Amino acid sequence: MSVINLDHISSNPLLPEVKTAMIGAIEKDYANPASQHKRGEEAADALSKARTSVAKLINCALEKEIVFTSCGTESVNHAIKGVAQANAKKGKHIITSNIEHNAVIRSLRRLKSQGFTVTSLSVDQDGRVNPDDVAGAITDETILVTIMHSNNETGTIQPIAEIAAITKKNKVIFHTDAVGSVGIVPFDVQKLGVDLVSFASNTYYGPTGVGGLYIRRGTMIWPLLEGGVQEHNKRAGSENMIGIIGMGTAADAARRDMGKRLGHFNGLKARMMDKLPQSIDEYIINTNLKHSLPNLVSLSIQYIEGESVMLMLDDEDIAVSTRSACATGSLRASHVLLSIGLSHADAQGTLVVAFGIDNSEADIDFFLDKLKTVVTTLRDISPLYKNAKQA
Amino acid sequence: MYNKTVMDHFRNPRNVGVIDDANGVGEVGNPLCGDMMTIYLKINNEHIDDIKFQTFGCGSAIAVSSMLTEIAKGKSLAEAKAITNKDVAEALEGLPKNKLHCSNLGADALQLAIKDYEDREAGIERPVLERKDEHEHSHGETCYCPYCDVEILDGVNFCEACQSDLTEEH
């Protein structure tokens, strides 16, 4: 299927070297890394090698600070619920932001039903949390701050290092959902100062179904999954060797190619921003262009609805993502977009365009060309457009 | 996601536009939910001579508007008043369960337009339509959890099946 994939936020293809490594792991038929015999040790070595690769990607002090999980969502659940439960005797107050992923929101909702309180900080018009607001919200009862590194809908990056300086001073644990960031932008846990980082393999062209949680040594946290003593007693369950080996290989490639990829993404993003006004008018860019992922642009096209745009572009073999209520199945506009000040109507017309290493300048040009026709067609049908023009 | 009939009406919507001298206009929905539909009617001798629509909405909403106008065109007022949302969904050979919400607008807009015509004929001044800001669905019709598609009862704001909080949607 030859489709121009501009929906790299939803899924990424596997790198050829990742496929090779995973097929190799399948052929190898690794034993259980917990087994004490020769075959088990061989598996344990392979597991350790993958763990080291991932640890290097984010500059961990120790490789065992990396815990392999099944996905970013599991990492987030583990971080938030694990810290809350382990520190409940110290306090039951958690600080977050209005723009978090549902994995954070619903984990916190679960904790609220169990007696925890949550302060959710608003963001400014540029979609960023003010670190001073974090400082102002911390009380003696605060045990956790969870604020995402980059937002999956807008691509905007938060001032994580500044927030970490505040949490460190106040001895509060800081978790960041970095599923969109790790493997895409330079991410150094020593420089950032965070205690917990959730991330996922598929973001940087590894397999879906495997993720990671960085837990800084000394952080008080309970496991999410309990049973055996895998993952240094932090996450029970026999490890997904095939997935983890794929993830490790992808991490090596991400570290090796990061500079090249950044240049590639920045080039595509600049081209899109430069040529967009020639394609359509009356749109809003939701991404904070100064502080954002290099591979994502969120735009809200006024007077039309996102799923319709997505379907018409699909007919032209272009895949994009939309944040309209209908498309996300939530029946309401995106909480992220409303938090940055968009009206409901504008929020419904939002497209998320996310580039991949497989995209070219020609892809961007083709997309913008087709977008022009799609937007014109849908605005011709739209009562909102008609009303706006008549006013 | 959508069957061939729905996609056909989405890609090639029938009766798109505005009737400048319409004698019945009905508008339903609001951008809050992501769907808004306006139906224009030209009624002569108690028959719908012409019907046009404008829609802000998803693939389902546009397809529903198109099919609705195709069904209603040329019908007598009596026949048109009998057209229900279910008729439109059936003519489209079905919609995904969580898209039935979108289809609710179709026949509602038509009925509102017919009422507008009748009010005008009777000399009744119609109040300006106040946009409703909440999720609306006719009581008695089935509603489905937007997260797990399981049927939920009226007035319920928590889905037992998937533990989702539906206070905002329902």
Q: Would you list the domain boundaries of chain A?
A: 16-253, 258-390
Average pLDDT, whole number, for chain B?
83
| B60/A331 touch (CB, cutoff 8 Å), yes or no | no
Under CATH, what is the fold of the domain A258-390?
A: Aspartate Aminotransferase, domain 1 (3.90.1150)
Q: What distance in Å separates the CA atoms of residue A367 and residue A318, rounded to the nearest whole number?
A: 7
Within 8 A by CB and 6+ apart from A371, the residues are A279, A280, A309, A313
The question of whether A326 is a catalytic residue gets the answer yes
Quick check: B47 and B76 in contact, CB under 8 A?
yes
Q: Which of A291-305, A306-320, B54-68, B90-104 has the lowest mean pLDDT?
A: B90-104
User: Using only C-alpha atoms, what is the Rg of chain B?
Assistant: 17
Distance of residue A204 Cα from the nearest chain B Cα, in angstroms: 28
Who among B33, B58, B146 is closest to A308 (CB)?
B58
B127: number of Cβ within 10 Å: 6
Which residue type does B149 have?
A: D
Kindly report, as residue ranges, where domains of CATH 3.90.1010.10 are found in chain B. Answer: 4-126
Of B143, B152, B149, B154, nearest in space to B104 by CA:
B143
Who among A307, A343, A386 is closest to B58 (CB)?
A307
A8-27 pLDDT per residue, tens: 999 999 999 999 999 999 99
Of B59, B64, B85, nearest in space to B142 by CA:
B85
A389: number of Cβ within 10 Å: 10
Under CATH, what is the fold of the domain B4-126?
A: Sufe protein. Chain: A (3.90.1010)
Q: Which of A70-74, A79-83, A267-271, A332-336 has the lowest mean pLDDT?
A: A332-336
- Name A144's bridge partners: A94, A173
- Would you give the end-to-end CA distance of chain A in angstroms? 45
Which residue type does A40 have?
A: G
Q: What distance in Å separates the CA atoms of residue A29 and residue A241, rounded to the nearest whole number?
A: 9
Mutate: best of A105, A107, A310, A311, partner B, most B CBs <10 A: A311
Using CA coordinates, name the residue in chain A closest to B17: A381
Alpha-carbon torsion angle A134, A139, A143, A148, nearest 10? -10
The DSSP line for B22-85 is: -SEEEEEEETTTTEEEEEEEEEETTEEEEEEEEEES-HHHHHHHHHHHHHHTT-BHHHHHT--H
Encoded tokens for A90 = 């110290």
Question: Can you tell me the mean pLDDT for B70-91?
Answer: 94
Quick check: A71 and A208 in contact, CB under 8 A?
yes
Reported in sequence order, the residue ranges of chain A that DSSP labels E, i.e. its strands, are 4-5, 66-69, 93-97, 117-121, 142-146, 173-177, 196-200, 211-215, 283-285, 296-301, 318-319, 321-322, 350-354
In this prediction, residue A7 carries a pLDDT of 96
With 50 as the cut, is the pLDDT of residue B132 above it? no
B-chain residues near A333 (CB < 8 A):
32, 34
A278-337 pLDDT per residue, tens: 999 999 999 999 999 999 999 999 999 999 999 999 999 999 999 777 667 666 788 999
Check whether domain A16-253 has CATH 3.40.640.10, yes or no: yes
A-chain residues near B58 (CB < 8 A):
305-308, 324, 326-327
| B:86-105 residues touching chain A, CB 8 A cutoff | 98-99, 101-102
Residues of A with CB under 8 A from a CB of B: 109, 303-308, 311-312, 315, 324-327, 329-333, 343-345, 348, 380-384, 386
Task: Write down the pTM of the prediction.
Answer: 0.90
Q: pLDDT-derived band of residue B146, with 50, 70 and 90 as boundaries? A: low
Please state whether beta strands A173-177 and A196-200 pair in parallel, antiparallel, or not at all (unpaired). parallel
| B11/A315 touch (CB, cutoff 8 Å), yes or no | yes
A271-285 pLDDT per residue, tens: 999 999 999 999 999
Q: pLDDT-derived band of residue A147, with 50, 70 and 90 as boundaries? A: very high
Encoded tokens for A110 = 């679960």
Q: What distance in Å separates the CA atoms of residue A192 and residue A190, rounded to the nearest whole number?
A: 6
CA distances from B93 to A168, A200, A384, B12 (A): 59, 40, 29, 16
A179-192 pLDDT per residue, tens: 999 999 999 999 99
